Structure 1
Amino acid sequence: MSRSDRLFELIQILRTAKGPMRAEDLGARLEVSKRTIYRDIVALQAMRTPVEGEAGIGYVLRKGYDLPPLNFDEEEIEALHVGLAMLIRTGDGALQQAAARVGRKICDVHKSAEWLQVAPYGAPQDNPDCGCVPIAVLRQAVRSAQKLRLAYVDKENVHSERVLRPLALIYHVECTLLVAWCELRHGFRHFRTDRMIAADLLEDRFSADAPLLRKLWQEQEDSSFVHAP
């Protein structure tokens, strides 16, 4: 979570708290240390956010403080509700949790739209307890242009291990595909996340090459949509 996102979450927690929140409790909610919470509180106070309290006692947000309203019209809000709800179909657990947080933030300043319903059927959940590779790890690899060592089983039940340069994720209704330059095959390949046995981030990065590789893949995609063999 970025610092700006954490500060926003910190305000949200204090807004809904029933009483003073200790730094230890805030840190546990946001998965950071007490020292980080102390620094964040100082940063919020420097931005004139009315957070009151001190270490050892707890912090409160003065009543009457609110976040600026989101300037969306009714149809834009409804589009956001449907779009966020449809993330349940991706099987990406981390994105689903993020969507729920965004939805709560929208509902804080706009009325809910419970009458807009989305069926949950789609890609299987990426539950690590069931042996699935978390899609969040793949998104991190793409975002940071970080090489990935992948253990994979193809549709013929052939096992392979290869090093990839992850470039994009494609969310289909029934599965999610990782687009990558495969160093084993020396070409672009698409890998189904539900056939991944294990995926480990490597220290090697390819930041300088990522934009060109992604551009080449996009140019070739229309004529050759290649899946991993």
Structure 2
Amino acid sequence: MRRADRLFRIVEYLKARRETVTAKELGEELEVGVRTIYRDIADLKASGVPLTGEAGVGYLLSPNYVVRPLLFDDEELEALALGAQMVQSWADPAMAQAARRALDRITAVLPESLGDTIRDSTSYAYPSSGKPSLQIDFTSLRRAIRTRHVVEFAYTDHNGSETKRHIRPLAMIFLAPHWMVAAWCELRCDFRHFRLDRMQSMNVLTRQFQHEAGKTLKDMRQQSEGD
């Protein structure tokens, strides 16, 4: 994380909270040492950010400090809060942390009264005991979609048959309680959906793929709409 991004993240994190936050907590959130946090806090104060507190006690950002204007209505805020909780409950740890950061970023730039709408939301999403366990790295699979890397894995279908697959991952689909990856399957030479809980021994290959006519996410959607 660039230093400028880290400083902005500190402001967002503190703005989203009403109680003091220790340097240790900030360091764990941003994955840096306490000494780095102390230097960052000093620089933020020097630049005019209204921070109170001290080392060993914790820091608090004035509730009147405005990061930038951003307005939503109550229904939109409740939907955002609930959506972030659902991501935290059902997605992988990296995406769960991203959801928390995103909600903090939104809360940080809201007026105090609207920030209360998120903090006091009456809609909740808790982790479910029905969440299937995975034997693959969910985060690596998501990133392979963005970087267009071919993925190989062993797959067991609903009949118990096992095959070895090489796919071009195109999108993640959540059909509660299951996550699926939509892909171009090189074995079947067609689009396929694979449940993540049926995948094993997954590897992201160094081989990348380029978009080809008839094998893209857009093509898959058009094919689905035509069925």
- Which residue number in structure 2 is paired with residue 204 of structure 1? 207
Number of equivalent positions: 214
Counterpart Cα distance in 2 of 1:203 and 1:51: 46
Residue pairs, 1:207-222, within 5 angstroms? 208-209=210-211, 213-222=216-225
Question: Which stretches in structure 1 are left out of the alignment for 5+ residues?
Answer: 53-58, 225-229
Residue 185 (structure 1) aligned with residue 192 (structure 2): no
1:164-215 deviation digits (Å, cap 9, x = unpaired)? 1100111112211101111122111110011111322111222x31686112
Indicate the percent of aligned positions where both proteins have the same amino acid: 34
Residue pairs, 1:6-155, within 5 angstroms? 6-13=6-13, 18=20, 21=23, 28-31=28-31, 65-87=65-87, 91-94=90-93, 95-108=95-108, 109-111=115-117, 112-118=119-125, 120-121=127-128, 124=131, 132-155=135-158
4+ runs deviating over 6 angstroms = 1-4, 33-48, 59-62
- Which residue number in structure 1 is paired with residue 163 of structure 2? 160
Contact 2:132 2:178 in 1 (8 A): no
Partner SS, residue 68 of structure 1: coil
Contact 1:27 1:34 in 2 (8 A): yes
Q: TM-score, normalised by structure 1?
A: 0.68
1:73-97 deviation digits (Å, cap 9, x = unpaired)? 11211221232233356x3123333
- CA RMSD after TM alignment: 4.2
- Which residue number in structure 2 is paired with residue 227 of structure 1? none
Question: Which stretches in structure 2 are left out of the alignment for 5+ residues?
Answer: 53-57, 109-114
- Which residue number in structure 1 is paired with residue 198 of structure 2? 195
Counterpart Cα distance in 1 of 2:188 and 2:92: 30
The verdict on how the C-alpha distance between 1:29 and 1:156 changes in structure 2, with shifts beyond 3 A counting, is same
Deviation of the 1:157 alpha carbon: 1.8
1:46-78 deviation digits (Å, cap 9, x = unpaired)? 9876789xxxxxx97875644234311112112
Counterpart Cα distance in 2 of 1:42 and 1:18: 16
